[in-house]
Amino acid sequence: MTEKNPSAPKSAKTRHSHSGVIHVNEPHTENFTVVGNHLLQHPELSLMAIGLAVHIQSLPAGSPIGIKTLAAKFPEGEIRIAAALRELEEHGYLTRARERLQSGQVTTRTTSYNRPRTAPAPAVEAAAPPKVSAPKTPAADLLARLRTYDSRLMLSERDVRRLVPEVSAWLERGVPVTAVERALTSGLPQDPIKHPAAFLAHRLTSLLPPPLLLPAPAPPSPPALRPDPWQTCDGCERAFRAAEPGRCRDCRSVGAVA
């Protein structure tokens, strides 16, 4: 009869395998956060984004999670933290909406989701009718994302479809997506925006940059002239360049004087 290992905690559950990681799991009864494997094993998120999402989910409600606040906590710096926050926004784990307070001050309201907003809803007995989603193009995504900058720029799916060709005109002229977003969200009026679609349509039309005029290609350079081949002078047997065999210039000069 073999003895049990006395050093292993009785409450721990150990899973052995021939290779790879070995898990020693102990139950948590306090000070813990439940995180789904859909986040921890996400195939598209970076490790930086996954770690930041877990940290945010572990914070109590109302905790500040601005870029500068997070950069003061961790060594990664503002650029990497900002990129990780954008990843979490793109995959539905985070939303940031700019709201104007009654005092006129603009604040950012951040919402963290422990399950991505794009995840399919659980199956129910009576299936709901399918929703018609906005077209999956870079222009449609840009328009739908504007409400995260300012809640007054929230658009309906119909408005998004109507404005997609106007945004596409910017993108076809070589304007980066970030520049289009900046043109549509910077310098917003303090008054309420009653018709966001009309407001954005006006900006897209009035601020449309001209197409880039690429420089004309340089004319082809003339072919290099090849020098005449070497010839041996029939008079002095010196080498000289000429198109055909004969006499060198000195011998021709002497012959001419004679």
**pLDDT tens-place string over residues 144-183:** 989 888 889 999 999 999 999 999 999 888 888 888 999 9
**Domain of residue 170, residue span:** 135-212
The reported pLDDT for the residue numbered 204 is 93
d(C-alpha 100, C-alpha 12), whole Å = 51
β-pair type (13-15, 23-25)? antiparallel
- Output the pLDDT for position 18: 67
CATH at 100: 1.10.10
Residues 168 and 208 occupy one common structural domain: yes
- On whether residue 229 sits in a domain, the answer given is no
Number of domains composing the chain: 2
In a domain, 3, yes or no: no
Please write the tens of the pLDDT for every residue from 113-154.
888 876 444 444 434 444 434 344 788 999 998 988 888 999
* Ranges of residues in the chain whose predicted pLDDT is under 70: 1-18, 118-136, 214-216, 255-258
Q: Of 115, 150, 182, which one is at a domain's C-terminal end? A: 115
pLDDT, residue 128, reads 44
Q: Can you tell me the distance from the alpha carbon of 161 to that of 201, in angstroms, rounded to the nearest whole number?
A: 12
- Give the angle subtended at the CA of 121 by the CAs of 120 and 125, to the nearest 5°: 130
Task: Put residue 74 in one of left, alpha, beta given phi > 0 → left and psi -120 to 50 → alpha.
Answer: beta
Residues 51 and 84 in one domain: yes
Considering only CA atoms, which of 137, 211, 147 is closest in space to residue 175?
A: 211
- Judge if 204 and 160 occupy the same domain: yes
Residue 106: enclosing H or E segment and its boundaries?
strand 106-112
